[in-house]
Amino acid sequence: MFVFDPYSPQVDADPFPFYKTLRDEHPCYFSESAKTWILSRYEDIANACSDWKTYTSSKGNLMDELPNRAGGTLGTTDPPRHDQMRACIQHAFSRRSIDGLSGPIAASATAAMDDVLEKKSFDFVTEVSTRVTIDVLFTLLSLPRENERMVRDNAVLAVQTDPVTRRKEPEHVAAFQWLQDYAKAILEERRRNPGDDLLSHFQAAEVEGQRLTDREVLLTTVTLILAGIESLSGFMTMFALNLSDHPQARAQLVANPALTADAVEESLRFNTSAQRFRRCLTRDVELHGQLMKAGDFVCLAYGSGNRDERRFANPDVYDISRKPRGHLGFGSGVHTCIGTQIGRLATRILFETMLKRMPAYERVDRELKWMPSTTFRSPLRLELRAV
Ligand code: HEM
């Protein structure tokens, strides 16, 4: 009997054969282990994303939600409050030019490459993707550098589940609490001494004469840190993996770096880090002969929708000239990622820099150890060497 268990190491290692069976034979499937319906076809996922009144985010959007997040931050609220919150952030983002990050990203990528090029092999996760991501995020939010290792370690831990029990354990909740305490102290300091930085503008922003509550500002700041670190570094790592497994595509990028932006889009479609998010039903819905009841949780398997042959021709082929319009790598609808511009810019600059310095590389280990998470998918280590 077919079983899709989002907690199983087999799904961590290679979800795609499972996704195919789900799409073809069980397009509306109830996972006993996750107590969640799984939608795997592109069209069903896109429809759910645009019908936020039925598929609410207000009960949380992570597959294994952290306590106290639901209803308080961008990814866990519905319109109209969600849109007001999003407008506040967008206002703060627009006060700082995202393009102004290009220089710091290039400097960070160059420094990371300087350090790894001398080595026989290196871990792309700690030495490149996480390092560059931390530089980007700390620059974006103007965070002091002294606590960066703690911020990184706690952000990475908070989005994981225990590798054995596959549940959120007290250590994951404590990591999330640490991030809240950290963000609270930063926000209090910015309130006392506001500057021309994103968090100061965000706290002060008003939409229709209304400010956000302290809880909303706090949880959204933590979300920016969590989403910024895990989604971005995880995606960069998956991109490096895709290019090591597809040397021809990598050679095309070396010959023509202008194709890097297209390759980023194809990687977001083909094999992204942000695989599955969750919604909750506000009413009964019948789909593909199954009755999902009000109050049931529903998983939107973006990683599966991106491989749906009903939407993309030859979906299992990694084709950097594809231009996959409408892919779900950043989600869809009102909750489409707010960091799309930063994610695209940082990844493109990192790989343009890297491939100039290291045009050919291979992975050292064939077997990878995957992060235990039901939402995100990326290897814990990716040992690479230049060839
Ligand atoms: C390439 C890197 C990234 C990927 C693949 C990615 C992916 C995603 C996805 C799939 C969602 C939708 C979640 C849902 O449907 O519930 C999302 C939402 C979000 N992302 Fe990203 N993300 C990336 C980078 C970033 C960055 C750099 C930031 C912040 C600086 C960020 C902040 C957010 C926030 C705040 C949301 C919630 C948006 C809302 O609900 O309105 N992301 N991201």
Name residues contacting ligand 1 (CB within 6 A).
Answer: 61, 74-75, 86, 223-224, 227-228, 231-232, 235, 272-274, 277, 302, 329-331, 335, 337-339, 342-343
Residue 265 inside a domain? The answer is yes
pLDDT of residue 271: 94
How many angstroms does the Cα of residue 228 sit away from the middle of ligand 1?
7
Cβ atoms within 10 Å, residue 145: 10
Confidence of residue 117 (pLDDT cuts 50, 70, 90): very high
How many angstroms does the Cα of residue 118 sit away from the middle of ligand 1?
34
Cβ burial 112-139 (10 Å sphere, 16+ → b, else e): bbeebeeeeebbbbebbbbbbbbbbbbb
Q: State the CATH number of the domain containing residue 86.
A: 1.10.630.10
How many angstroms does the Cα of residue 37 sit away from the middle of ligand 1?
22
Residue 283 inside a domain? The answer is yes
Helix ranges (DSSP H) in 296-339: 302-305
Nearest alpha-carbon partner for 378 in 219, 236, 202: 236
Residue 47 inside a domain? The answer is yes
pLDDT at 96 over 80: no
Number of domains in the chain: 1
> In Å, how far are 10, 42, 69, 130, 238 from 25, measured between CA atoms?
19, 14, 34, 38, 28
Residue 141 tokens, joined: 């939010």
Question: What is the per-residue pLDDT across 184-233, written as a single tens digit (0 to 9) for each?
Answer: 999 999 999 999 889 998 899 888 888 889 999 999 999 999 988 999 99
Residue 312 inside a domain? The answer is yes
pLDDT of residue 37: 98
Residue 4 inside a domain? The answer is no
The angle, 0 to 180 degrees and rounded to 10, between the axes of the packed helices 247-255 and 340-357 is 90
Residue 130's domain spans which residues? 9-386
Residue 65 inside a domain? The answer is yes
Pairing of strands 36-39, 297-301: parallel
Q: Which atom, in ligand 1's list, is nearest to the CA of 234?
A: 2
Cα angle 341-219-160, degrees, rounded to a multiple of 5 = 80
Residue 1 inside a domain? The answer is no
pLDDT of residue 98: 84
pLDDT of residue 167: 87
Residue 3 inside a domain? The answer is no
Confidence of residue 90 (pLDDT cuts 50, 70, 90): confident
